[in-house]
Structure 1
Amino acid sequence: MNVFAPLALSPQQDLTPAQQALVERIVTFCRGHLSGARGVFVVEGDAGTGKSLVMNTAFDRIQTIARGKDGQDALRNTKNLFVVNHPEMIKFYRRVAETLPCLRKADYARPTTFINSFRKTGKTADVVFVDEAHLLLTRADRYNHFAQDNHLQEILALARVVVLVFDPHQVLKFKSYWDRAALDGLLHGCDVEHVHLTDQFRMRAKADVTAWIHAFRECRLLPLPARQAFDFRIFDDAQTMYDAIRAHDRQYGLCRMLSTYDYPYTLDGADHFITEGRFHLRWDRSLPEERLPWAERPDTIDEVGSVYTVQGFDLNYAGVILGPSILWDDASQRIIIDTDRYEDRSAFAGRQGIAQPERIRREIMLNAINVLMTRPMHGLYLYASNPALRAKLAALRDHAKGPAS
Structure 2
Amino acid sequence: MRIDENAAVEKLSPLKPLTDEQAQLVKHVLEFASQHLQHHDTPAVFTIYGDAGTGKSVVLSHLFNQLQTAARTDKSSSFYGTNNRFLVNHPEILKVYKEIAGHYRHLLKKDFERPTSFINQLDKHNGHVDVVVIDEAHLLLSKPDHYNNFYHENQLAEVIKRAQVVILVFDRYQVLRMKSLWTPERLQKLTNQYPHEDYQLKHQFRMTASDELLNWMNRLTDGEVTALPKNARDHYDFRVYDDAEKMRQAIVQRNQEVGLSRVLSTSGYPSTLDGGKHYIKEGRFKMPWDQYNYTSTPWAEIPKTINEVGSIYTCQGFDLNYAGIIIGPIISQAKDSQRLIVHLNRYTDVESFKRRKDLTDPKEIKRLEDRMIMNALNVILKRGVRGTYLYAHDPRLRHTLMTMYDRIK
Query: Which letter does structure 1 place at the counterpart of 2:373?
Result: M
Alpha-carbon displacement from aligned partner over 1:310-348 (angstroms, at most 9, x marks no partner): 100000000010001110114132111111111112110
Q: CA deviation at 1:267?
A: 1.4
Where 1:346 maps in the other structure, the secondary structure is coil
Q: Tell me if structure 2 keeps the 8 A contact 1:351–1:357.
A: no
Q: Decide which of 331, 335, 339 is 1:334's aligned counterpart.
A: 339
CA–CA distance in 2 between the matches of 1:88 and 1:158?
25
For 1:351 and 1:333, locate their aligned partners in 2 and report how far apart those are by CA, in whole Å: 32
2:33 to 26, 30, 44: 30
Secondary structure, in 3 states, of the residue corresponding to 2:99? helix
**Residue aligning to 1:254:** 260
Structure 1 residue corresponding to 2:160, chosen from 142, 156, 159: 156
Matched, 1:381 2:378: no
Secondary structure (helix, strand or coil) at the match of 2:200 reads strand
The Cα shift of 1:351 comes to: 3.3
Give distance in 2, aligned partners of 1:302 and 1:270: 15
Aligned to 1:86: 90
Aligned residues: percent identity?
A: 44
Shift in Å at residue 2 of structure 1?
A: 9.5
TM-score (norm 1): 0.96
Among 13, 18, 21, the alignment partner of 1:18 is 21
Q: Indicate if the aligned counterparts of 1:97 and 1:105 stay in contact, CA closer than 8 A.
A: yes
Q: Partners of 1:55 and 1:238 in 2: how far apart? A: 38
Unaligned 5+ residue runs, structure 1?
none
Which of 191, 194, 198 is 2:195 aligned to?
A: 191
2:311 paired residue number: 306
For residues 55-204 of structure 1, the aligned pairs below 5 Å read 55-68=60-73, 70-204=74-208
Q: Which residue of 1 aligns with 2:365?
A: 357
**In 2, distance between residues paired with 1:26 and 1:121?**
29
Q: Give the total of aligned pairs.
A: 399
The TM-score, its normalising length taken from structure 2, stands at: 0.95
Cα 1:222–1:3, aligned 2, differ >3 Å: closer, same or farther? Answer: farther
C-alpha separation in 1, matches of 2:116 and 2:296: 21
- Taking a change above 3 Å as real, the CA distance of residues 3 and 200 of structure 1, as seen in their structure-2 partners, is farther
Q: How far apart, CA to CA, are the structure 2 residues paired with 1:2 and 1:10?
A: 20
Distance in 2 (CA, whole Å) between partners of 1:3 and 1:334 is: 39
Structure 2 segments unaligned to the other structure (5+ residues):
none
Q: Residue 3 of structure 1: CA displacement?
A: 4.4
SS in 1 for 2:351: helix
**CA RMSD after TM alignment:** 1.3
Is 2:261–2:323's contact at 8 Å kept on the other side of the alignment? yes
Q: Within the alignment, does 1:368 sit opposite 2:376 as a pair?
A: yes
Kept after mapping to 1: 8 A contact 2:267/2:329: no
- Match of 1:32, SS state, is helix
Please state whether the residue corresponding to 1:229 is helix, strand or coil. coil
